[in-house]
Amino acid sequence: MDTPISEPGFMGIAVGAALTGLRPIVDLMFGDFLFLVMDQLCNQAAKTHYMSGGKLNVPLVLRTNLGATRRSAAQHSQSLHALIAHIPGIKVALPSSAYEAKGLMKTAIRDNNPVVIFEDKLMYQEKAQVPEEEYLIPFGIAGVLREGSDVTLIATSSMVQVASKAADILAAQRISAEVIDPRTLVPLDEKTLLKSAQKTSRVIIIDEGHQSFGVTAEIGARINEKAFYHLDAPVQRMGAMDVPVPFSPTLEDLTVPTPDKVAARARALVRGEL
């Protein structure tokens, strides 16, 4: 359904459609435009089930994106998933591959709650085989992409690829890194994250959102609260710099974590330098 370029308008229509029995999927071209639909999403869709005493549901899926390093400048390069995860009543999914994108989307459509799926813009250029048959990826179940014993790398969205490449660099230096993809922030699979932290005793959290008050802070706080006595070093956080995303390619590339930066932080952590 093609709509006018009026984000508050078509988001409001989708909330109404969900309330009356449909399962609309809203495609928001840039995640930055979430600011335009916050009332419909966070005041209406997120709270209706609670405010109706469980009588009403809003089975709505909002598909949008995140990510820098695409030369789109400050108003088209933000990663706002932590902002949405802060609102009770909304589920938040972050696919890290084509396989995850299909499986999480199918689960989101079947959910009776509003779900926001964030895809990384850079990953739209990647191609991969996905099963033609039906499959669902359950929410709240993290994926352990690589098992390790020296350090845990918890990464979201496109940072999963960054963490995996960092793990390859570390393996060549005989450092064993475990790589975990939470898949969903809400619900969050605390059990898997804590189990890994307890095993390796060292944790780095990598996310493309701004580091302050974001995903890295929340996951780090939970690990500190519930696995503190298993840690051999403070939990490390690597997010985007706390600046508007620059348009200059040279400056933009400096704002987000890279495999080399993650590997360097992990080496220092394992060596007891942090």
Q: Which domains does the chain have, with CATH numbers?
A: 7-125 (3.40.50.970), 143-270 (3.40.50.920)
Q: What is the token pair recorded at 273?
A: 């330098």
Residue 69: is its pLDDT beyond 80? Answer: no
> What's the CA gap between 52 and 56, in Å, rounded?
6
Rounded to the nearest 10 degrees, what angle do helices 159-172 and 259-270 cross at?
50
- Please state, for a pLDDT cut of 70, what percent of the chain lies above it: 100
Q: What is the token pair recorded at 150?
A: 């020296």
Reduced to 3 states (helix: H, G, I; strand: E, B; else coil), residue 103 is helix
Q: How would residue 125 be classed by pLDDT, with cut points 50, 70 and 90?
A: confident
Residues annotated catalytic, as ranges: 7, 76
Predicted confidence (pLDDT) per residue in 40-58, tens digit: 999 999 999 999 999 999 9
Considering only CA atoms, which of 68, 16, 69, 62 is closest in space to residue 36?
A: 62
| Dihedral sign of CA atoms 221, 105, 43, 66 in order | positive
Predicted confidence (pLDDT) per residue in 139-184, tens digit: 999 999 999 999 999 999 999 999 999 999 999 999 999 999 999 9
